[in-house]
Each structure stands twice: as C-alpha cells, then as structure tokens.
Amino acid sequence: MAAAQSLAEAGFRVTLFESRPFLGGRASSYPLREGEEGAEVIDNCQHILLRCCSNLLDFYRKLGVEDKIRFYREFYFLEPGGRPSVLSRGRLPRPFHLLGSFCRLPFLPPEAKVKIAEALAGVWKEWGKRKDLDRLTMLEWLRENRQPEEAIRRFWGPVLVSAINENLEDAAAVHGLQVLRLAFLGRASAYEMGVPSVPLGELYDPVALAGGGEVEVKLRSPVERFAVADGKVQWAESRGERWEADYYVSALPVERMEQVLPELGVRTLDWDFSPITGIHLWFDREVTDLPHAALLDRTIQWFFNKGDGRYLMLVVSASRELVELGREEIVELARRELAEFLPESGRAELVKAHVVKEVRATFSPVPGVEARRPAAKTEISNLFLAGDWTRSGWPATMEGAVRSGRLAAEAVCEAAGVSRRFLIPDPI
C-alpha cells in the first residue's frame, strides 16, 4: 500500500493485487463471525505504534486517518496484585525527559534503576559506532552491561520483547538498541504510544490510497507467478489472466516468495519466524479503567482496553509456549493471570473469548539476519521488493513495512529516470 501510494503520488498508474478480500495484510481487521451482518469487527491483533514511526504516521496522514490514532503519554505497568506504575515524560529535556517518572517506578529497586540508566547511557554511546551489534544477542549485550536479573525480567523484557517480537536471548542486539535509541533517547515525544481508535481495516481506503493519482485495487486477486525471461518480468499472472507493466513491486510475505518468485532464490526454510498470540476477552462488566498496561512476571505481556473496560485485548509476543496450547487452555490461562492484575476480572463473567495465534507473525530478528534482508532492487531489472522482511532499516513492524514500500517506490522512480524521495529519515 505504501509503495502504491508513493508511486501514484509520483504520477505512475498503479494496479495493486491483494489475494484477500480486504486490505491491510497482517495489520487488518475482520468480522468476528464471517458473513454475519452487523457482526463485531475485531483486529487480527492489537497493533500499536510509537511517535517515532515517522513514515507510518506520514502514510496515515496521506490517507487522511492520522486523527484515528490516539496517542498516550503514559505507559502503565502492573505487578501481580495490581500495584500500578506509570512511565511518563516530565519537564527535563531529552534524553532525561523520562527520568523523573522512571526514578519513581515502584516495581524496580534503586540498584536496578542505576544499572538500567547506565545501560541506556551505553546505548547513547554505542549506537552507530559499534559494528558487532548484529552478531550478539540482546541478552548478551545486557549481560555485558551488567544488568541484574530483575532489571532484565521487569524492565528490558516488557519494553523490548513486544517491540521486536523476539525473546532477549534470541534477538540481535542491533534491533533492541535501535528501539531504545529512537523511542527513549530520541525526541521527547518519540516514546508516546499510538493506538488506533477504529478497527485497523478502517484505516485503509483505496480512494485515499490513490490520492489524486491512479491506484486500482484488485481484491481476491492473488498473483500466482511472475513470468521472468531475459532478466525482466514479462508479465504477472493472477486468476488465469496476464498483466503487463513497466515495473513490478512484490510486497509478498517472505514465506510466499519461494512459490511465486522462485527466480530470486528466497527460501522459506532459511528464515525463522516468531509467533504472536492475541486473546480477546469480553466481560459482563467494566473490569478496568486503565487504557492499557504491561503485565509483569507472567505469560500475558500486555492488555489493551478496547473501549469501556469490558472488552480487553491481551497480547503475548514471541509466544512459542502458547502455540502448542488449545484455545480453552489459553483462555483459562489468560483469565487466571488477568485476575491477578485486575481482580474485578476474576469476579466478572466472561461473555465471550476469541484467540488468534499468528504462528508466523514476523520473521525472527536473530543475529545475522540483518545481512540476509534483501534491498528493494533485485537482479531482475524491472522487479522491486517491499515487505517488512526486506532491508527497511527497521524490525518487522508497520513502520518497517511502510519504509520498505517507500524504498521500493524510490527504486522504481530511479529505474524510470525520475528523481523522487519518499522515505522520511528517523527522527534522531
């Protein structure tokens, strides 16, 4: 969508093929009971962004939906038993804007806070200078920076695992440090959390995507293959029809590449994936008035209040231990744990529940993977790549996906002899 939007802006005529009946891919929403009129629309999973997601926010602005993202300055943390903590910006200039509330967080002892502050100073010094950050894991980096177990479990884990969808012992340090550098040490507003106030699907509109230009969206239209000959794509095939164009952008998920574009040699088996599990719970009464909270020391990592405190969306990133469990077991575990943080949810009746296990939610950002992510330009002269798994400069996120689309659009423009820049640099 980002590639299409940028190319339409540059005057190209774009045809977008989407295999599903709706736009949005992994960041989409659908009716809870398909086919039922008036059925409740839910997000595939809660998607959040940070104020430092400049390209994503600019993309929303161009679609006219920026006001549908609600930003929060407060990050809530809950301990088992329900004691709340709030991280929020104070009066000090960056990079000290979070320091006041950080010092007051009750769930961390003062020694751990000192160590965390020292490590953050290390991020400030090392980012952009140290060359081996893609070769060591986040946990190795934290140990190198002498972080106590409590700081790892109660601070670094909750902050980083959901941001990069991988455990600290598996994720490359480069991704963790990037998030910390941009979100916590960047502009004072960069850490603010944006939550869509409408179902994700309402953010995408084909007419808005075209702007004043031309984008034709073809839903239920999978591209089955690209015909490659003489180093060029000759046509793309969808639903038995051939489609010819001057330039082709593939924004396929990495696991579809082998099947649709075998010429590029991207093998699914060479990539590891990390799952995310979303648990939707509807109660018969309000169980919280908090908008969201990170839940410490348990399996469930976050809850998001989807409105009136009765419908909560629970999220577990890098959720390998839940993948093997059945729906009932997951709901049972979620209810049991949630009641430790929100006692009212233990007394309330569960009206309904829905579990979404995304086994291949994102590629796993393990050490070494960064070098394997391909750039937008390929060896096929009129074919360009986009998608959160390509070399976007960001982990697999909506910002990463939009960046990749914009980079692909820039590469198409270059091939067409047009000089255009779409990518907004990170706000450092």
Ligand X SMILES: Cc1cc2nc3c(=O)[nH]c(=O)nc-3n(C[C@H](O)[C@H](O)[C@H](O)COP(=O)(O)OP(=O)(O)OC[C@H]3O[C@@H](n4cnc5c(N)ncnc54)[C@H](O)[C@@H]3O)c2cc1C
Contacts with ligand X by CB under 6 A lie at 17-20, 25-27, 44-45, 47-49, 222-223, 251-253, 256, 260, 276, 278, 358, 361-362, 387-388, 396-401
Query: Is the CB of 358 or the CB of 410 nearer to ligand X?
Result: 358
Query: Is the CB of 44 or the CB of 145 nearer to ligand X?
Result: 44
* Residue 288 CB partners (closer than 8 Å, separation 6+): 303, 305, 309, 312, 342, 344, 345
CB of 170: closest distance to ligand X in angstroms? 17
Query: Is the CB of 145 or the CB of 301 nearer to ligand X?
Result: 301
C-alpha 306/C-alpha 195 separation (Å) is: 10
CB of 183: closest distance to ligand X in angstroms? 12
CB of 50: closest distance to ligand X in angstroms? 9
Per DSSP, the residues of 49-82 read EETT-HHHHHHHHHHT-GGGEEEES-EEEE-TT-
CB of 397: closest distance to ligand X in angstroms? 3
C-alpha 36/C-alpha 417 separation (Å) is: 49
Residue nearest ligand X (C-beta atom)? 25
User: What distance, in Å, lies between the first and last C-alpha atoms of the chain?
Assistant: 26
Query: Is the CB of 239 or the CB of 336 nearer to ligand X?
Result: 239
Query: Is the CB of 119 or the CB of 333 nearer to ligand X?
Result: 333
Which secondary structure element, helix H or strand E, spans residue 210, and what is its range? helix 206-210
CB of 358: closest distance to ligand X in angstroms? 4
Reading phi first (left if > 0) and then psi (alpha if -120 to 50, else beta), residue 186 is in beta
Q: Quote the Cα angle for 83-87-89, to 5°.
A: 150
Beta strands at 223-229 and 84-87: parallel, antiparallel or unpaired: unpaired
CB of 226: closest distance to ligand X in angstroms? 10
C-alpha 232/C-alpha 223 separation (Å) is: 17
Query: Is the CB of 43 or the CB of 340 nearer to ligand X?
Result: 43
